[in-house]
């Protein structure tokens, strides 16, 4: 067999082939710039897929080919249609733009073009930390719309391009969601110097080729209100969704309802109000309609909750001549009547719950001006509350005097009324007994209602102040004696357990107010007994009820005011102390029973003309008596 020889030519060929392949691989490696661009391409494709998933409906997803071998507008358009243009721009990032003045710091995100953070610079919460109205995704502001190629999109998933300008002390931020360089949906934010009001507009240009302009858009505004105050129960009680409609009407949803919703028409503004801070959306031209929802998130008032309520507004928007053009405003700031009233002719101050009807009028035209006046000269708000209470009691003292005077007159007539009861005994004489009693009172010049009317006249003031103090933001974080915050409860003892209705702490001012009410009711019990006519046969005895009230009222104050603001409890404590003092002076130094008795005797001698009201009652009683006697004769 012939021996096989080594072929040097074949070896040289293999070596040359390997060298050529190695040279080709080295020379065709991507540069650093190309590697960076490739990485960006992969990131862009990933973002496009992330954006597309939540906003394209199921049919679109099933019919769309998600390929990762192309870059830029073509791939974006494949996923998002015309709105893929914005997703392919350099602004398609999670960056935020800051606009601020002396009062507010606001962050607006590229993604969604919406506000992601609102800081109130001059306020802190109960823990001493900054007050945020928007923070950590607790709020959303977006628009649902349908494209001409039947995609259901939401602006919160799309990227806007920011443009920031500053001029004459104001800051303007334009956020544009583009379908091309000159076609877009724009959110325009304008923040003026030293103003809580943020000008905001929604505009469009050339979107009719991309968006179905014949179909309405849905503007969705949602906020989970952040807790800011120490008492969750107290804050949540005053956290309410308010709204204005028909240019003059104001209303709100029930704060206590678990889930409350309402459909509105001709809406001027919608306010997500907390106890002391508010977010309000205002429109220059009323929205034709809106659906609002308020959902209470606090089941247990003792938990250390972050959120109190979920508030939502859904507002239909419409294209006019293929364009969107809405001029709106956002108010982010304190629920301060003085500040809100400066925005003339909008009625925003009505979001401060001062009470309805006469209670609101008393607060608006009496207590707020007087409170503002005292602030100019007195720095301690505990002293201001005491001075306000003193003013109220002085104004009310003539009514207290009238009530005591009527009580003294009834006390003097009481023996004669008891004689009438004995004279006209039995149910069959009830009408005669009542007529004789009224005749005696009329002849003596005594009106049994005179003691009730002063008490009724004081009730509007009582309820007005019940609304005023919880709404007074000036009391927030202001201390007085042991109370560290007059807008919250004055805790002096923390309990290791929770008492139903009462809570897990002990507040001192409600205890003092309860004691003062107890002694006040003890003093007035004898007065009330004098005002009450002698118990007639067949009529209930009111004495026991009065005794029950003497213990029940202080107990109610003790239990329910334990979680209320200490400023309100301080008012009731001082008010009852002053009332007790005034009653003591009237009873012992002003009322002279001998003179009153002599005056009554003089009145009896004079011919007394009955009032029309008494005459009608007397005639009605007389007819009833005659009818009763006719029935007996039958």
Q: Three-state DSSP class for 174?
A: strand
Of 165, 197, 215, the last residue of a domain is: 215
626 within some domain: no
The tokens of 61 are what?
């997803």
Tell me the average pLDDT of the chain. Answer: 79
CA distance linking residue 475 with residue 375, whole number of Å: 11
634 within some domain: no
Of 338 and 437, the structure prediction assigns the larger pLDDT to 338
Q: Three-state DSSP class for 228?
A: coil
H-state helical runs in 272-319: none
Say whether pLDDT at 422 is over 80.
Answer: no
Crossing angle of the two packed helices 508-531 and 543-560, in degrees rounded to 10: 160
* 605 and 463 within one domain: yes
Instruction: Compute the average pLDDT of residues 357-365.
Output: 89
* 530 and 432 within one domain: yes
The tokens of 50 are what?
């992330």
Given this model, what pLDDT does residue 58 score? 35
Say whether pLDDT at 75 is over 70.
Answer: no
Of 616 and 382, the structure prediction assigns the larger pLDDT to 382
Q: In what order do the strands lie in the sheet with 115-124?
A: 96-100, 104-109, 115-124, 130-134
Instruction: Compute the average pLDDT of residues 427-445.
Output: 66
**pLDDT band per the 50, 70, 90 thresholds, residue 218:** very high
568 within some domain: yes
Range of the domain at 252: 216-352
* 244 and 178 within one domain: no
**pLDDT band per the 50, 70, 90 thresholds, residue 56:** very low
341 within some domain: yes
Of 618 and 592, the structure prediction assigns the larger pLDDT to 592
Given this model, what pLDDT does residue 555 score? 86
- 55-59, 303-307, 622-626: which range is least confident on average? 55-59
Matching residue, tokens 């209670």: 359
Say whether pLDDT at 228 is over 80.
Answer: yes
Number of domains into which the chain is organized: 3
% of the chain at pLDDT higher than 90:
38
Q: Which of 18-22, 75-79, 87-91, 481-485 has the highest mean pLDDT?
A: 481-485
324 within some domain: yes
Q: Cβ neighbours of residue 284 under 8 Å, at least 6 residues apart?
A: 327, 328, 329
107 within some domain: yes
223 within some domain: yes
591-606 confidence digits (pLDDT tens): 766 676 676 666 656 6
Of 215, 242, 273, the last residue of a domain is: 215
**pLDDT band per the 50, 70, 90 thresholds, residue 340:** very high
408 exposure class (CB count in 10 Å sphere: 0-12, 13-18, 19+): buried
Of 397 and 621, the structure prediction assigns the larger pLDDT to 397
* 239 and 124 within one domain: no
Give CA angle at 137 (251, 51), nearest 5°: 115
* 582 and 457 within one domain: yes
Given this model, what pLDDT does residue 445 score? 62
* 573 and 438 within one domain: yes
Given this model, what pLDDT does residue 63 score? 39
Q: Three-state DSSP class for 257?
A: coil
622 within some domain: no
In Å, the largest CA–CA distance within the chain is 168
Matching residue, tokens 């209100």: 225
* 320 and 237 within one domain: yes
* 225 and 202 within one domain: no
* 546 and 459 within one domain: yes
% of the chain at pLDDT higher than 70:
70
- 374-388, 411-425, 509-523, 593-607: which range is least confident on average? 593-607
Of 161, 184, 215, the last residue of a domain is: 215
Q: Which of 57-66, 306-315, 414-423, 621-630 has the highest mean pLDDT?
A: 306-315
* pTM (two decimals): 0.76
* 272 and 389 within one domain: no
* 291 and 405 within one domain: no
**pLDDT band per the 50, 70, 90 thresholds, residue 64:** very low
Instruction: Compute the average pLDDT of residues 202-209.
Output: 92
* 388 and 470 within one domain: yes
- 317-331, 455-469, 479-493, 521-535: which range is least confident on average? 521-535
C-alpha R_g of the chain: 38
């Amino acid at each position: 067999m012939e021996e096989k020889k080594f072929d040097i030519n074949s070896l040289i060929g293999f070596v040359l082939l390997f060298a050529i392949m190695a040279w080709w691989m080295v020379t065709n490696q991507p540069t650093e710039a190309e590697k960076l661009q490739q990485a960006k391409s992969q990131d862009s494709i990933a973002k496009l897929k992330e954006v597309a998933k939540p906003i394209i409906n199921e049919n679109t997803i099933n019919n769309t080919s998600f390929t990762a071998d192309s870059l830029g507008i073509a791939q974006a358009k494949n996923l998002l249609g015309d709105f893929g243009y914005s997703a392919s721009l350099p602004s398609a990032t999670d960056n935020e733009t800051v606009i601020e003045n002396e009062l507010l710091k606001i962050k607006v995100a590229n993604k969604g073009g919406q506000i992601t953070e609102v800081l109130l610079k001059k306020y802190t919460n109960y823990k001493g930390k900054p007050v945020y109205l928007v923070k950590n995704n607790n709020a959303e502001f977006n628009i649902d719309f349908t494209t001409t190629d039947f995609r259901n999109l939401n602006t919160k998933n799309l990227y806007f391009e920011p443009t920031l300008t500053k001029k004459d002390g104001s800051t303007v931020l334009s956020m544009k969601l583009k379908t091309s360089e000159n076609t877009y949906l724009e959110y325009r934010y304008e923040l003026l110097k030293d103003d809580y009001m943020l000008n905001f507009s929604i505009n469009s240009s050339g979107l009719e080729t991309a968006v179905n302009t014949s179909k309405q858009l849905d503007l969705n505004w949602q906020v989970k209100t952040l807790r800011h105050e120490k008492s969750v129960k107290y804050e949540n009680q005053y956290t309410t969704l308010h709204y204005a409609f028909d240019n003059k009407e104001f209303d709100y949803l029930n704060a206590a309802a678990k889930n409350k919703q309402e459909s509105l028409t001709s809406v001027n503004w919608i306010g997500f109000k907390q106890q002391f801070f508010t977010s309000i959306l205002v429109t220059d031209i009323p929205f034709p309609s809106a659906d609002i929802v308020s959902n209470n998130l606090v089941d247990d008032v003792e938990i250390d909750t972050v959120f109190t309520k979920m508030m939502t507004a859904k507002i239909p928007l419409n294209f006019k001549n293929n364009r969107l053009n809405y001029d709106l405003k956002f108010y982010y700031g304190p629920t301060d009547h003085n500040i809100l009233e400066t925005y003339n002719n909008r009625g925003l101050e009505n979001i401060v719950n001062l009470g309805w009807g006469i209670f609101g009028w008393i607060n608006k035209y009496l207590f707020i001006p007087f409170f503002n006046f005292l602030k100019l000269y007195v720095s301690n708000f505990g002293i201001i509350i005491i001075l306000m209470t003193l003013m109220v009691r002085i104004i009310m003292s003539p009514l207290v005097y009238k009530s005591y005077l009527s009580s003294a007159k009834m006390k003097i007539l009481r023996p004669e009324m008891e004689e009438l009861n004995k004279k006209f005994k039995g149910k069959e004489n009830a009408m005669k007994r009542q007529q004789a009693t009224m005749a005696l009172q009329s002849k003596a010049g005594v009106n049994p209602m005179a003691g009730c009317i002063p008490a009724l006249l004081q009730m509007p003031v009582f309820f007005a102040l019940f609304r005023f103090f919880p709404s007074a933001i000036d009391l927030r974080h202001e201390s007085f004696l042991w109370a560290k915050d007059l807008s919250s409860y004055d805790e002096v003892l923390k309990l290791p357990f929770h008492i139903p209705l009462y809570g897990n702490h002990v507040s001192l001012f409600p205890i003092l107010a309860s004691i003062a009410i107890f002694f006040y009711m003890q003093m007035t019990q004898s007065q009330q007994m004098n005002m009450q006519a002698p118990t007639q046969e067949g009529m209930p005895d009111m004495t026991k009820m009065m005794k029950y009230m003497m213990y029940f009222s202080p107990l109610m104050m003790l239990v329910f005011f334990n979680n209320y603001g200490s400023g309100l409890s301080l008012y009731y404590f001082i008010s009852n102390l002053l009332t007790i003092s005034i009653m003591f002076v009237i009873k012992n130094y002003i009322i002279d029973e001998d003179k009153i008795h002599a005056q009554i005797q003089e009145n009896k001698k004079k011919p007394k003309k009955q009032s029309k009201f008494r005459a009608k009652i007397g005639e009605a009683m007389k007819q009833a008596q005659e009818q009763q006697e006719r029935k007996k004769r039958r």
